[in-house]
A = this chain, B = another copy of it.
Amino acid sequence: MGHPFEARVGANESAFGVSPVAAIAMRKAVDQLAWYSDPENFDLRSALATHHGVRPEEIAISAGIDDLLGLAVRAFVEPGQIAVASLGAYPTFIYHVNGFGCGLSSAPYRDGRNDLEALADLAQHPDVRLVYLSNPDNPTGTWHKASEIRQLIQALPKHCVFILDEAYTEFAPDDATPDIHPIHPRTMRMRTFSKAHGMAGARVGYAICPAAIASGFDKIRLHFGVNRIAQVGAAASLTHTAFVSDVVKQVETGRDAYVSLAADLGLLTLPSATNFVTFDAGSAERADAILERLIENRVFVRKPRVEPLDRYFRVTVGRKDERGVFAERLREIVKGT
């Protein structure tokens, strides 16, 4: 529209930037950019293995969770076989399922949450090979407890692989994250440097998974696929735990502010374990109208399009100034709608 957004609070990027330790390491890594990156991701894989208390063979690194989702669909679902996900789940997973010519079986959200029982029921179909769940969830921000996730895993047929997308796990309460140990023989836990670590532009994600799955990915992945600067930056960011804790704290503060704002304006919100808050506009029409007016007013926000999620709009926790701009604009708009 010919003008920049004043608050970029639509893509759940981190408003709190990259760790200064990682930034220094990455600026230095520019000097070695003429060299290919390490195809084994050895340093980063070792660091992640130590961080999570697993073996390096149980870490699969790739250019973001998006890349890992593509590899998983390609590896586990033949054309004609089926993947299961919630209706309105992370679009890139669905994109890969369609792109590889696989079938998709979907259960609608219930009360703003993934319906784990419905997903488990769908997975009983003999052609299902892959089940996807994000927890905490994107696009709603809601979450299930670790015990419920474990129950879902138990309920899946033995020939199904389960993807637990934990992109937002740093922002979640402790009991939303199942223990890493023991690594379940058919589960891939996917993590990213794009959210709490503030490195969305770098493209680094990883899976904690059985060694057999990681070595299977080695047969189809792009071996030099992770940018050299990104490898260095991710490893450096992993050491800067104080930075990540501070980001998480700032996000909690911002989430609380959004919840208060919503209450002030008579809007409901969904509970959030992520770096964004989902506002309930009461109806799809009103949510569309609010979204449109926010974007006209230079606030970049997004909303889900499928029922029953279409009554919501989703706002990333921005910096304090961005939250101020958003709050001011939302107040004006809600008064008028």
Interface residues in chain A, defined as those with a beta carbon under 8 Å from any beta carbon in chain B: 8, 11, 13-18, 23, 26-27, 29-37, 63-64, 66-67, 70, 92, 99, 194, 198-203, 219-220, 222-230, 233
In the complex, the answer to whether B34 meets A15 with C-beta atoms within 8 Å is yes
In the complex, the answer to whether B31 meets A17 with C-beta atoms within 8 Å is yes
The distance in angstroms between the C-alpha atoms of A64 and B36, with both chains bound, is 11
Known: A27-B27, A70-B222, A202-B228. A34 touches B18 (CB 8 A): yes
The distance in angstroms between the C-alpha atoms of A15 and B32, with both chains bound, is 10
Contacts of A223 in B (CB 8 A): 66, 92
Per DSSP, chain A at the interface is loop
Report which of B36, B63, B233 forms a contact with A63, defined as CB distance below 8 A.
Answer: B63
Contacts of A30 in B (CB 8 A): 18, 23, 26-27, 229, 233
The distance in angstroms between the C-alpha atoms of A226 and B225, with both chains bound, is 10
In the complex, the answer to whether A36 meets B11 with C-beta atoms within 8 Å is yes
In the complex, the answer to whether B99 meets A224 with C-beta atoms within 8 Å is no
Report which of B16, B18, B35, B202 forms a contact with A227, defined as CB distance below 8 A.
Answer: B202
In the complex, the answer to whether B33 meets A18 with C-beta atoms within 8 Å is yes
Known: A70-B222, A219-B99. A199 touches B33 (CB 8 A): yes
The distance in angstroms between the C-alpha atoms of A226 and B302, with both chains bound, is 23
Contacts of A66 in B (CB 8 A): 222-225
Report which of B92, B199, B224 forms a contact with A34, defined as CB distance below 8 A.
Answer: B199
The distance in angstroms between the C-alpha atoms of A18 and B32, with both chains bound, is 8
In the complex, the answer to whether B8 meets A35 with C-beta atoms within 8 Å is yes
A225 to B, closest residue via Cβ = B63
In the complex, the answer to whether B200 meets A36 with C-beta atoms within 8 Å is yes
Q: How far is the CB of A89 from the nearest CB of chain B, in Å?
A: 17
A-B contact pairs, 30 of them (CB 8 A): A13-B36, A15-B34, A17-B31, A17-B33, A17-B34, A18-B34, A23-B30, A26-B30, A26-B229, A27-B30, A29-B201, A32-B201, A33-B200, A33-B201, A33-B233, A34-B198, A34-B200, A35-B201, A36-B201, A37-B201, A63-B225, A64-B224, A66-B224, A67-B222, A99-B219, A99-B220, A200-B224, A201-B228, A202-B228, A203-B226
Contacts of A220 in B (CB 8 A): 99
The distance in angstroms between the C-alpha atoms of A70 and B30, with both chains bound, is 27
Contacts of A229 in B (CB 8 A): 26, 30, 201-202, 227, 229
Q: Please give 5 more A-B residue pairs, beta carbons under 8 A apart, in addition to A13-B34, A33-B198, A67-B225.
A: A18-B34, A33-B200, A34-B198, A64-B224, A200-B224
A29 to B, closest residue via Cβ = B201
Contacts of A16 in B (CB 8 A): 34
In the complex, the answer to whether B63 meets A35 with C-beta atoms within 8 Å is no
Q: How far is the CB of A178 from the nearest CB of chain B, in Å?
A: 28
In the complex, the answer to whether B26 meets A33 with C-beta atoms within 8 Å is yes
In the complex, the answer to whether B222 meets A63 with C-beta atoms within 8 Å is yes
